[in-house]
Each structure stands twice: as C-alpha cells, then as structure tokens.
C-alpha cells in the first residue's frame, strides 16, 4: 500500500514538472488549442454542407471531434517520454529515490490537463457553431468523463510506444499513420451505415465508434433521422468503451512499467 501511495505522490511531482514545462513553452498549448478549433470549424462548414438531408450534422459532428482530439492528444505522452529519453532526463529520474512508475503516472496524468483544456475549447467552439447539450448536467459530465477516461487509457499505449521507440519524429509519424485511420474509419464524421461493408464492420466494432456513440447519447445528440445501431457494440456503447478501457490499462500499464525499467537501464 505504501508503495502505491509513494508512486502517486512521486507521480504528482512529475505531473507538476510536465505542466510547468508547458508554461515555459506556451507555443505547445497554443497549437493544442488551435487544432480543435480548426477541426470544428472546418468539418462543421465543409462536411456540414454535404451532410445527408435531415441530419443535424453539427450536433452529430461534435462528439466525433471530441473523440478524435483526445485520442490524438494521447500522442503527447509518447512524444514526451521519447524526448525525455533522448535528453537523458529519464536517467536523472532513475538516480533519484522515487518510484519507478512515477514518471509514467505523472506523464499520463499531466496529459489529462491537455485534454480537459482541448475539450473545453472545442465545447465552446461547438456552442458557437450550433452544438447543444440536450440532456442533464450529470449525463453531460458523464460524457466528458468517459472521453477523458478513454484518452487516459490510450495514453498508456502511447507511453509504451514512446519507451519502445525513443524518437520524437518516429513517434509523431507512426502515431499519425495509426490514429488517423482509427478515428476516420468510425462513426466520427459520417454515419457508419454509409461505409462499404468491410469498413462498416470495422467501424461498428472500433472502440472509437463506441466512445463517439456514448458521447452522442450522453449529450442527447443522437439524430432521429439515422437508423438505430444493430450491433451490440453500438447498442451498448458505454459498456463496450469501459471494457476497452479496462483491457488497455490491464495490458499496457504493466508493459509500460516493464519497458520503462529497460529504457532506464540502457
């Protein structure tokens, strides 16, 4: 028990260090905020002009933008760890009397802050273009928490990748290659029913689709013009998302801690 508390206490110190780093390099936060604004405006006015008749595309869109942004935001974890390895920061942490998992706990925790800021900016931009929350405050908060929880789990995947491939350039390129199709072959920007059969099946069981569907239901943005989903994953999106979160954390937390020990000993 004391080791767990020590890991969280040391992780809080590392998280504070990462947040101070953002303060000293504000350009990172600026571009983090500009990206979701551009995506909301671009998709709302470009894709919205060709949306199916009867579909309230701007309300359909925002949950997808939320999911895409928080998943891409998880790449900060991998890139940050890769940078720390390149600069020898991990070796300095290793020389200190701190928990071995503290660096990973602090890194993933600090990235929650980035996602909270991004979601806040996206939400305000969405309200400007016509998005509305049509459920209760508690349901809306549950939607945001589920997005952040999935992003937190995904950040552990990127933590493992960042420790496995300690190169910021490679991490950024590899992340784009994997995350881009994962977030687009889903129900993020178009109804999955409109996709060709192989892509539709992938999209229906894609965890990103479940996160998006969960957010739409919790925000009250499920459009009656669309047919209800006929697969279990999208009929029970919250449960399916939580299953994915549990599986990812169960696999990648131990893998990341093990890889951190190997990376720190190189």
| Averaged pLDDT score across all residues of the chain | 82
User: pLDDT tens digits for 48-100?
Assistant: 666 666 678 888 889 998 999 888 888 888 887 877 777 776 667 666 666 66
The mean pLDDT value for 187-215 works out to: 92
pLDDT of 40 > 70? The answer is yes
pLDDT at 177: 83
Q: pLDDT tier at 11 (50, 70, 90 boundaries)?
A: low
Q: Take residue 47 and report the two structure tokens written for it.
A: 């894709």
User: pLDDT tens digits for 162-180?
Assistant: 888 877 778 878 788 888 8
**Which of 78-92, 95-109, 113-127 holds the top average pLDDT?**
113-127
pLDDT of 6 > 70? The answer is no
pLDDT at 31: 66
pLDDT of 261 > 70? The answer is yes
pLDDT at 32: 67
User: pLDDT tens digits for 211-259?
Assistant: 999 999 999 999 888 888 999 999 999 999 999 999 999 999 999 888 8
Q: Take residue 249 and report the two structure tokens written for it.
A: 């954390």
What's the pTM value of the predicted model, to 2 decimals?
0.87
User: pLDDT tens digits for 183-195?
Assistant: 999 999 888 888 8
pLDDT at 69: 87
pLDDT at 168: 77
């Amino acid at each position: 028990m004391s080791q767990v508390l020590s890991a969280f206490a040391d992780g809080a110190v590392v998280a504070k260090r990462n947040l101070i780093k953002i303060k000293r390099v504000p350009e990172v936060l600026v571009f983090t905020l500009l990206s979701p604004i551009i995506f909301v405006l671009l998709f709302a006015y470009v894709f919205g002009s060709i949306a199916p008749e009867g579909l309230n595309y701007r309300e359909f869109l925002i949950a997808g933008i939320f999911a895409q942004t928080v998943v891409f935001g998880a790449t900060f974890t991998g890139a940050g760890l890769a940078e720390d390895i390149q600069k020898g920061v991990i070796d300095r942490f290793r020389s200190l009397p701190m928990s071995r998992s503290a660096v990973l706990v602090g890194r993933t925790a600090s990235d929650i802050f980035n996602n909270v800021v991004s979601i806040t900016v996206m939400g305000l931009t969405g309200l400007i273009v016509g998005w509305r929350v049509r459920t209760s405050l508690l349901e809306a908060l549950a939607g945001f928490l589920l997005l952040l929880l999935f992003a937190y789990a995904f950040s552990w995947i990127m933590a493992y990748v960042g420790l496995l491939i300690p190169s910021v350039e490679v991490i950024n390129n590899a992340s784009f290659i994997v995350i881009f199709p994962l977030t687009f072959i889903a129900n993020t920007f178009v109804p999955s029913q409109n996709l060709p059969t192989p892509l539709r099946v992938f999209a229906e069981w894609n965890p990103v689709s479940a996160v998006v569907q969960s957010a739409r239901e919790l925000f009250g943005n499920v459009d009656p013009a669309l047919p209800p989903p006929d697969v279990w994953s999208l009929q029970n999106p919250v449960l399916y998302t939580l299953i994915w979160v549990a599986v990812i954390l169960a696999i990648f937390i131990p893998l990341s801690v093990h890889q951190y020990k190997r990376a720190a000993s190189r």
